Protein backbone atom coordinates (compact mmCIF):
# COMPACT_ATOMS: atom_id res chain seq x y z
CA UNK A 1 0.00 0.00 0.00
CA UNK A 2 1.15 3.49 -0.80
CA UNK A 3 2.54 5.35 2.22
CA UNK A 4 0.33 8.41 1.58
CA UNK A 5 -2.85 6.30 1.75
CA UNK A 6 -1.75 4.67 4.98
CA UNK A 7 -0.75 8.02 6.53
CA UNK A 8 -4.10 9.57 5.57
CA UNK A 9 -5.96 6.58 7.08
CA UNK A 10 -3.90 6.81 10.29
CA UNK A 11 -4.68 10.52 10.60
CA UNK A 12 -8.36 9.69 10.31
CA UNK A 13 -8.30 7.12 13.11
CA UNK A 14 -9.11 9.70 15.77
CA UNK A 15 -12.24 10.82 13.90
CA UNK A 16 -13.43 7.44 12.62
CA UNK A 17 -12.13 5.18 15.40
CA UNK A 18 -10.52 2.69 13.00
CA UNK A 19 -8.28 2.41 9.93
CA UNK A 20 -10.62 2.92 7.01
CA UNK A 21 -8.70 1.11 4.27
CA UNK A 22 -10.35 -0.89 1.49
CA UNK A 23 -9.44 -4.56 1.48
CA UNK A 24 -9.51 -7.00 -1.40
CA UNK A 25 -12.93 -8.71 -1.02
CA UNK A 26 -11.28 -11.99 -2.08
CA UNK A 27 -8.77 -11.85 0.76
CA UNK A 28 -8.85 -14.76 3.23
CA UNK A 29 -8.94 -12.77 6.45
CA UNK A 30 -8.72 -15.84 8.67
CA UNK A 31 -5.46 -16.94 7.00
CA UNK A 32 -4.09 -13.38 6.98
CA UNK A 33 -4.74 -12.99 10.72
CA UNK A 34 -3.03 -16.31 11.46
CA UNK A 35 -0.01 -15.17 9.42
CA UNK A 36 0.14 -11.85 11.30
CA UNK A 37 -0.01 -13.61 14.67
CA UNK A 38 3.26 -15.40 13.80
CA UNK A 39 4.97 -12.47 12.09
CA UNK A 40 4.25 -10.03 14.91
CA UNK A 41 4.22 -12.45 17.84
CA UNK A 42 0.68 -11.26 18.48
CA UNK A 43 -2.07 -12.71 20.63
CA UNK A 44 -5.76 -12.10 19.94
CA UNK A 45 -7.88 -11.81 23.08
CA UNK A 46 -11.64 -11.66 22.51
CA UNK A 47 -14.59 -11.09 24.78
CA UNK A 48 -17.56 -13.48 24.59
CA UNK A 49 -19.69 -10.63 23.24
CA UNK A 50 -17.66 -10.33 20.02
CA UNK A 51 -19.12 -11.51 16.72
CA UNK A 52 -18.65 -15.26 16.00
CA UNK A 53 -15.91 -14.75 13.33
CA UNK A 54 -13.78 -12.82 15.81
CA UNK A 55 -14.32 -15.45 18.50
CA UNK A 56 -13.19 -18.10 16.00
CA UNK A 57 -9.82 -16.41 15.28
CA UNK A 58 -9.12 -15.56 18.91
CA UNK A 59 -6.36 -17.29 20.88
CA UNK A 60 -8.33 -16.78 24.04
CA UNK A 61 -12.02 -16.02 24.56
CA UNK A 62 -13.25 -15.03 27.96
CA UNK A 63 -14.99 -12.65 30.31
CA UNK A 64 -13.37 -9.62 31.91
CA UNK A 65 -11.57 -11.60 34.64
CA UNK A 66 -10.21 -14.24 32.26
CA UNK A 67 -9.10 -11.61 29.76
CA UNK A 68 -7.30 -9.57 32.43
CA UNK A 69 -5.55 -12.75 33.64
CA UNK A 70 -4.50 -13.66 30.09
CA UNK A 71 -3.30 -10.10 29.45
CA UNK A 72 -1.21 -10.30 32.63
CA UNK A 73 0.61 -13.49 31.67
CA UNK A 74 1.00 -13.22 27.89
CA UNK A 75 4.49 -13.41 26.36
CA UNK A 76 3.31 -11.86 23.09
CA UNK A 77 4.76 -8.56 21.82
CA UNK A 78 1.41 -7.35 20.54
CA UNK A 79 -1.97 -7.73 22.25
CA UNK A 80 -4.90 -7.44 19.87
CA UNK A 81 -7.83 -6.76 22.12
CA UNK A 82 -11.18 -7.58 20.54
CA UNK A 83 -13.45 -6.03 23.09
CA UNK A 84 -14.31 -2.52 24.24
CA UNK A 85 -11.99 0.32 25.17
CA UNK A 86 -11.84 -0.16 28.96
CA UNK A 87 -10.81 -3.80 28.44
CA UNK A 88 -7.96 -2.91 26.07
CA UNK A 89 -7.00 -0.17 28.52
CA UNK A 90 -6.80 -2.80 31.30
CA UNK A 91 -4.47 -4.89 29.10
CA UNK A 92 -2.24 -1.83 28.60
CA UNK A 93 -2.25 -1.03 32.33
CA UNK A 94 -0.92 -4.54 32.96
CA UNK A 95 1.52 -4.51 30.01
CA UNK A 96 3.05 -1.07 29.53
CA UNK A 97 5.89 -2.33 27.32
CA UNK A 98 3.63 -4.21 24.90
CA UNK A 99 1.79 -2.79 21.96
CA UNK A 100 -1.97 -3.01 22.61
CA UNK A 101 -4.25 -2.46 19.64
CA UNK A 102 -8.03 -2.47 19.36
CA UNK A 103 -10.03 -2.93 16.12
CA UNK A 104 -12.23 0.12 16.75
CA UNK A 105 -11.15 2.81 19.21
CA UNK A 106 -14.75 4.01 19.50
CA UNK A 107 -15.90 0.68 20.95
CA UNK A 108 -16.86 2.22 24.29
CA UNK A 109 -19.24 1.12 27.04
CA UNK A 110 -22.42 2.79 28.30
CA UNK A 111 -21.73 1.50 31.81
CA UNK A 112 -18.22 2.93 31.90
CA UNK A 113 -19.52 6.21 30.46
CA UNK A 114 -22.14 6.42 33.23
CA UNK A 115 -19.37 7.06 35.75
CA UNK A 116 -17.23 10.08 34.83
CA UNK A 117 -14.14 10.38 37.08
CA UNK A 118 -14.65 14.06 38.14
CA UNK A 119 -18.22 13.34 39.38
CA UNK A 120 -17.18 10.12 41.03
CA UNK A 121 -14.32 11.91 42.82
CA UNK A 122 -16.85 14.30 44.40
CA UNK A 123 -19.11 11.38 45.33
CA UNK A 124 -16.17 9.63 46.97
CA UNK A 125 -15.33 12.79 48.95
CA UNK A 126 -18.86 12.72 50.38
CA UNK A 127 -18.10 9.27 51.86
CA UNK A 128 -14.61 9.72 53.35
CA UNK A 129 -14.77 6.63 55.58
CA UNK A 130 -15.66 4.27 52.70
CA UNK A 131 -13.35 2.19 50.56
CA UNK A 132 -14.13 1.87 46.84
CA UNK A 133 -14.71 -1.42 45.04
CA UNK A 134 -15.16 -0.87 41.32
CA UNK A 135 -16.42 -3.27 38.72
CA UNK A 136 -13.81 -3.65 35.98
CA UNK A 137 -16.23 -2.06 33.46
CA UNK A 138 -14.95 1.45 34.15
CA UNK A 139 -12.33 3.83 32.81
CA UNK A 140 -8.71 4.00 34.01
CA UNK A 141 -9.70 7.27 35.76
CA UNK A 142 -12.24 5.41 37.93
CA UNK A 143 -9.85 2.53 38.55
CA UNK A 144 -7.29 5.05 39.80
CA UNK A 145 -9.87 6.26 42.37
CA UNK A 146 -10.59 2.71 43.58
CA UNK A 147 -9.11 0.49 46.27
CA UNK A 148 -9.82 -2.77 44.50
CA UNK A 149 -11.38 -3.87 41.22
CA UNK A 150 -13.78 -6.78 40.77
CA UNK A 151 -15.48 -8.60 37.91
CA UNK A 152 -18.84 -10.34 37.88
CA UNK A 153 -16.94 -13.64 38.43
CA UNK A 154 -15.26 -12.56 41.64
CA UNK A 155 -17.37 -9.61 42.95
CA UNK A 156 -18.93 -11.58 45.83
CA UNK A 157 -15.57 -12.93 46.87
CA UNK A 158 -13.83 -9.54 46.68
CA UNK A 159 -16.55 -7.86 48.78
CA UNK A 160 -16.43 -10.66 51.35
CA UNK A 161 -12.64 -10.32 51.64
CA UNK A 162 -13.33 -7.13 53.66
CA UNK A 163 -14.66 -7.18 57.25
CA UNK A 164 -18.45 -6.99 57.57
CA UNK A 165 -18.33 -3.53 59.17
CA UNK A 166 -16.13 -2.05 56.42
CA UNK A 167 -18.03 0.77 54.70
CA UNK A 168 -17.90 0.34 50.93
CA UNK A 169 -18.82 2.32 47.81
CA UNK A 170 -19.57 0.06 44.85
CA UNK A 171 -19.26 1.51 41.33
CA UNK A 172 -20.34 1.86 38.60
CA UNK A 173 -23.09 -0.79 38.13
CA UNK A 174 -26.07 -0.36 40.47
CA UNK A 175 -27.63 -3.70 39.43
CA UNK A 176 -24.53 -5.77 40.11
CA UNK A 177 -24.00 -3.79 43.34
CA UNK A 178 -27.59 -4.45 44.49
CA UNK A 179 -27.22 -8.14 43.67
CA UNK A 180 -23.95 -8.37 45.65
CA UNK A 181 -25.58 -6.50 48.56
CA UNK A 182 -28.34 -9.11 48.51
CA UNK A 183 -26.10 -12.19 48.42
CA UNK A 184 -23.59 -10.89 50.97
CA UNK A 185 -25.99 -9.08 53.31
CA UNK A 186 -23.89 -5.90 52.95
CA UNK A 187 -25.16 -2.38 52.58
CA UNK A 188 -22.73 -0.90 50.07
CA UNK A 189 -23.36 2.61 48.77
CA UNK A 190 -24.06 2.24 45.05
CA UNK A 191 -23.09 4.53 42.20
CA UNK A 192 -26.11 4.93 39.94
CA UNK A 193 -24.73 3.48 36.69
CA UNK A 194 -26.02 0.72 34.42
CA UNK A 195 -25.36 -1.18 31.21
CA UNK A 196 -27.70 -0.37 28.32
CA UNK A 197 -27.79 -4.02 27.17
CA UNK A 198 -28.63 -5.66 30.49
CA UNK A 199 -31.20 -3.06 31.52
CA UNK A 200 -33.29 -3.62 28.44
CA UNK A 201 -34.67 -7.11 29.11
CA UNK A 202 -38.44 -7.26 29.39
CA UNK A 203 -39.75 -9.17 32.40
CA UNK A 204 -43.14 -9.45 30.71
CA UNK A 205 -41.73 -10.91 27.48
CA UNK A 206 -39.43 -13.29 29.37
CA UNK A 207 -42.39 -14.51 31.43
CA UNK A 208 -44.41 -15.13 28.24
CA UNK A 209 -41.44 -16.95 26.73
CA UNK A 210 -41.20 -19.15 29.81
CA UNK A 211 -44.87 -20.08 29.39
CA UNK A 212 -44.17 -21.13 25.77
CA UNK A 213 -41.02 -23.02 26.84
CA UNK A 214 -41.89 -24.42 30.28
CA UNK A 215 -38.76 -26.62 30.44
CA UNK A 216 -36.38 -23.75 29.59
CA UNK A 217 -34.15 -22.42 32.37
CA UNK A 218 -33.45 -18.69 32.61
CA UNK A 219 -29.73 -17.81 32.80
CA UNK A 220 -29.04 -14.19 33.76
CA UNK A 221 -26.01 -11.95 34.13
CA UNK A 222 -25.98 -9.97 37.42
CA UNK A 223 -25.94 -6.69 35.46
CA UNK A 224 -29.66 -7.39 34.75
CA UNK A 225 -32.31 -5.60 36.80
CA UNK A 226 -33.58 -7.17 40.02
CA UNK A 227 -37.01 -8.37 38.69
CA UNK A 228 -35.24 -10.42 35.99
CA UNK A 229 -32.70 -11.78 38.48
CA UNK A 230 -35.52 -12.76 40.83
CA UNK A 231 -36.96 -15.26 38.32
CA UNK A 232 -33.59 -16.55 37.06
CA UNK A 233 -32.62 -20.21 37.55
CA UNK A 234 -28.94 -19.31 37.51
CA UNK A 235 -27.13 -15.97 37.90
CA UNK A 236 -23.48 -15.63 36.95
CA UNK A 237 -20.72 -14.06 34.88
CA UNK A 238 -20.56 -14.93 31.18
CA UNK A 239 -18.06 -17.69 31.99
CA UNK A 240 -20.35 -18.90 34.78
CA UNK A 241 -23.37 -18.96 32.45
CA UNK A 242 -21.41 -20.86 29.80
CA UNK A 243 -20.16 -23.47 32.28
CA UNK A 244 -23.62 -23.89 33.79
CA UNK A 245 -25.17 -24.49 30.35
CA UNK A 246 -22.56 -27.20 29.69
CA UNK A 247 -22.93 -29.09 32.96
CA UNK A 248 -26.64 -28.66 33.68
CA UNK A 249 -29.06 -31.35 32.50
CA UNK A 250 -31.74 -29.08 30.96
CA UNK A 251 -32.09 -28.97 27.16
CA UNK A 252 -33.41 -25.45 26.72
CA UNK A 253 -32.24 -22.09 28.06
CA UNK A 254 -33.35 -18.47 27.86
CA UNK A 255 -30.20 -16.36 28.06
CA UNK A 256 -30.36 -12.86 29.57
CA UNK A 257 -27.07 -11.32 28.54
CA UNK A 258 -25.45 -10.09 25.33
CA UNK A 259 -26.14 -12.49 22.44
CA UNK A 260 -22.44 -13.06 21.60
CA UNK A 261 -22.18 -15.71 24.33
CA UNK A 262 -24.69 -17.91 22.47
CA UNK A 263 -22.01 -18.76 19.89
CA UNK A 264 -19.87 -20.54 22.52
CA UNK A 265 -22.92 -22.07 24.23
CA UNK A 266 -24.12 -23.60 20.96
CA UNK A 267 -20.61 -24.79 20.06
CA UNK A 268 -20.16 -26.45 23.45
CA UNK A 269 -23.67 -27.99 23.60
CA UNK A 270 -24.96 -28.49 20.03
CA UNK A 271 -27.81 -30.69 21.29
CA UNK A 272 -29.28 -27.90 23.43
CA UNK A 273 -31.44 -24.91 22.49
CA UNK A 274 -30.49 -21.36 23.49
CA UNK A 275 -33.00 -18.54 23.18
CA UNK A 276 -31.88 -14.91 23.65
CA UNK A 277 -34.01 -13.18 26.31
CA UNK A 278 -36.27 -10.62 24.59
CA UNK A 279 -35.55 -6.94 25.15
CA UNK A 280 -38.05 -4.25 26.02
CA UNK A 281 -38.14 -2.68 22.55
CA UNK A 282 -39.27 -3.56 19.07
CA UNK A 283 -35.94 -5.03 18.10
CA UNK A 284 -35.50 -8.77 18.53
CA UNK A 285 -31.82 -8.53 19.37
CA UNK A 286 -29.82 -7.60 22.44
CA UNK A 287 -26.45 -6.92 20.90
CA UNK A 288 -24.09 -4.47 22.55
CA UNK A 289 -23.65 -1.76 19.90
CA UNK A 290 -20.18 -0.98 21.28
CA UNK A 291 -18.89 -4.56 21.18
CA UNK A 292 -20.30 -5.02 17.71
CA UNK A 293 -18.33 -2.07 16.29
CA UNK A 294 -15.41 -4.47 15.99
CA UNK A 295 -15.31 -6.52 12.79
CA UNK A 296 -12.91 -9.09 11.37
CA UNK A 297 -11.74 -6.54 8.76
CA UNK A 298 -10.95 -3.94 11.42
CA UNK A 299 -9.19 -6.60 13.49
CA UNK A 300 -6.96 -7.53 10.54
CA UNK A 301 -6.18 -3.86 9.82
CA UNK A 302 -5.25 -2.98 13.41
CA UNK A 303 -2.87 -5.98 13.48
CA UNK A 304 -1.31 -5.25 10.13
CA UNK A 305 -0.74 -1.52 10.72
CA UNK A 306 -0.59 -1.34 14.55
CA UNK A 307 -3.36 1.22 14.84
CA UNK A 308 -5.52 2.25 16.70
CA UNK A 309 -3.17 1.77 19.61
CA UNK A 310 -3.93 2.20 23.33
CA UNK A 311 -1.52 4.70 24.91
CA UNK A 312 -1.64 5.90 28.49
CA UNK A 313 -0.23 8.49 30.82
CA UNK A 314 2.22 6.67 33.14
CA UNK A 315 0.99 8.29 36.37
CA UNK A 316 -2.60 7.30 35.60
CA UNK A 317 -1.49 3.80 34.59
CA UNK A 318 0.32 3.19 37.87
CA UNK A 319 -2.62 4.49 39.93
CA UNK A 320 -5.07 2.30 37.97
CA UNK A 321 -2.81 -0.76 38.22
CA UNK A 322 -2.79 -0.94 42.02
CA UNK A 323 -6.47 -1.95 42.47
CA UNK A 324 -6.26 -4.39 39.52
CA UNK A 325 -3.19 -6.07 41.05
CA UNK A 326 -5.06 -6.33 44.32
CA UNK A 327 -7.99 -8.04 42.55
CA UNK A 328 -5.71 -10.47 40.69
CA UNK A 329 -3.92 -11.30 43.92
CA UNK A 330 -7.16 -11.92 45.89
CA UNK A 331 -8.53 -14.01 42.96
CA UNK A 332 -5.33 -16.06 42.79
CA UNK A 333 -5.40 -16.78 46.53
CA UNK A 334 -9.02 -17.92 46.17
CA UNK A 335 -8.18 -20.12 43.17
CA UNK A 336 -10.56 -18.15 40.91
d(CA 2, CA 7): 9
Q: In the stretch 125-164, what mask flags binding to ligand SF4 with x, by CB under 6 A?
A: ------------x---------------------------
Instruction: Give the residue, chosen from 109, 206, 255, 293, that forms a contact with ligand SF4 under the rule CB under 6 A.
Output: 109
CB 43 to ligand SF4: min, Å? 21
Q: Which is nearer to ligand SF4, 107 or 188 (CB)?
A: 107
Determine if the peptide bond prior to 308 is cis (ω within 30°).
Answer: yes
| Nearest partner of 109 among 42, 37, 47, judged by Cα | 47
d(CA 292, CA 50): 6
Q: Is the Cβ–Cβ distance between 146 and 170 less than 8 Å?
A: no
Span from 92-100, 191-199, 206-214, 275-283 in contact with ligand SF4 (CB under 6 A): 191-199
Q: Is the Cβ–Cβ distance between 277 and 206 less than 8 Å?
A: yes
> In whole angstroms, how far apart are CA 157 and each of 176, 184, 189, 243?
13, 9, 17, 19
**Does position 195 bind ligand SF4 by CB under 6 A?**
yes
Provide φ and ψ at 26, rounded to 5°.
-85, -10
Angle between helices 29-39 and 296-305 (to 10 degrees): 30
CB 64 to ligand SF4: min, Å? 9
Span from 51-59, 90-98, 155-163, 193-201 in contact with ligand SF4 (CB under 6 A): 193-201
Span from 32-40, 95-103, 182-190, 285-293 in contact with ligand SF4 (CB under 6 A): 285-293
Interaction residues for ligand SF4, span 245-274 (CB under 6 A): 258
d(CA 302, CA 57): 14
CB 12 to ligand SF4: min, Å? 24
Interaction residues for ligand SF4, span 306-325 (CB under 6 A): none
State the Rg of the chain over Cα: 20
CB 107 to ligand SF4: min, Å? 8
Q: Is the Cβ–Cβ distance between 201 and 218 less than 8 Å?
A: no
> In whole angstroms, how far apart are CA 336 and each of 151, 172, 257, 258, 327?
11, 22, 22, 23, 11
Determine if the peptide bond prior to 335 is cis (ω within 30°).
Answer: no
Span from 37-45, 104-112, 164-172, 179-187 in contact with ligand SF4 (CB under 6 A): 104-112
Q: What is the number of alpha carbons within 13 Å of residue 331 lying toward its C-beta?
A: 20
**Does position 68 bind ligand SF4 by CB under 6 A?**
no
**Does position 6 bind ligand SF4 by CB under 6 A?**
no
Q: Which is nearer to ligand SF4, 70 or 238 (CB)?
A: 238
Instruction: Give the residue, chosen from 168, 197, 299, 324, that forms a contact with ligand SF4 under the rule CB under 6 A.
Output: 197
Span from 69-77, 192-200, 276-284, 316-324 in contact with ligand SF4 (CB under 6 A): 192-200
CA 251 to chain centroid, in Å, comes to 27
Applying CB under 6 A, the site for ligand SF4 has a residue count of 13
Q: Which is nearer to ligand SF4, 161 or 175 (CB)?
A: 175
Span from 73-81, 118-126, 205-213, 286-294 in contact with ligand SF4 (CB under 6 A): 286-294
Which residues of the chain form contacts with ligand SF4 (CB under 6 A)?
Answer: 49, 84, 109-111, 137, 195-197, 258, 288, 290-291
Amino acid sequence: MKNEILEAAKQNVERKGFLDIDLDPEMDLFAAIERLKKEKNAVVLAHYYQEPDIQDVADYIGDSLGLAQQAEKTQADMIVFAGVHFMAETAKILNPSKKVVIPDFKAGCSLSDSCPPPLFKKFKEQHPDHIVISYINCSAGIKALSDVICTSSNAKFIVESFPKDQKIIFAPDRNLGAYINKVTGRDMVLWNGACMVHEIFSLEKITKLKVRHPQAKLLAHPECEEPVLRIADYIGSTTGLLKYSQTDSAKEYIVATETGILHQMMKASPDKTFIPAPPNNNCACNDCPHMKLNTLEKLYLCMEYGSPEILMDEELRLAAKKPIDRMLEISKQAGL
